[in-house]
Amino acid sequence: MTSAWPHGVSPVVDGEVIRDIAAATSQGDTVLLFAHPDLCTDKWLDQLVAALPSDSQVLGMSVAGALGPEALLERGVSWIVLPRNLVAVRSILTATPADSDEWHLLANRVLEAEHELADRYPDRNGAMILFATGQDRQEELMAARLYLLLPSLPLVGGSAATSIGQESTFVISEGRKIAGRHLILLIRSVVPLEVFQHHHFEPGDERLVVTACGDTPRVVVELDGRRAGDVLAAVLGCEPAELTVARCSERPFGIRLRDSWYIRSVMDVRPDGALQFACDISEGTVLCVMRPTDLAGSLEAFLPSVPIQAGVLFHCLGRYFEADRTGKVPLLAAQLGDYAVAGGNTFGEQYMGLHLNHTLTGLWFAGGQRDE
Q: What is the pLDDT of residues 180-232, one digit of tens each?
A: 999 999 999 999 999 999 999 999 999 999 999 998 889 999 999 999 999 99
The pLDDT assigned to 251 comes to 95
Helix axes 42-51, 15-24, angle to 10 degrees: 30
The pLDDT assigned to 62 comes to 96
Helix segments in 260-366, DSSP class H: 295-302, 317-325, 329-335
- Indicate the burial class of 266 (C-beta count within 10 angstroms; 0-12, 13-18, 19 or more): buried
Which among 149, 172, 137 has a CA at the least distance from the CA of 103?
Answer: 149
The pLDDT assigned to 4 comes to 86
Torsion, Cα of 306, 311, 316, 320 (10° steps): 80
pTM surpassing 0.85?
A: yes
> Which amino acid, one-letter code, is at 209?
V
The per-residue pLDDT for range 141-180, each reduced to its tens digit, is: 999 999 999 999 999 999 999 876 556 899 999 999 999 9
Sign of CA dihedral 41, 38, 60, 135: negative
Q: For residues 143 and 348, is the Cβ–Cβ distance under 8 A?
A: no
The pLDDT assigned to 166 comes to 56
- Indicate the burial class of 153 (C-beta count within 10 angstroms; 0-12, 13-18, 19 or more): buried
Mean pLDDT score across all residues of the chain: 94
Report, as ranges of residue numbers, the positions in the chain whose pLDDT lies below 70: 1-3, 164-167, 305-306, 368-372
Q: For residues 328 and 295, is the Cβ–Cβ distance under 8 A?
A: yes
User: What are the residue boundaries of the structural domains of the chain, listed by start?
Assistant: 7-198+296-366, 201-291
> What's phi and psi for 155, nearest 5 deg?
-120, 140
The pLDDT assigned to 167 comes to 66
The b/e string for 299-330 (b: 16+ C-beta within 10 A; e otherwise) is beeebeeeebbbbbbbbbbbbbbbbeeeebbe
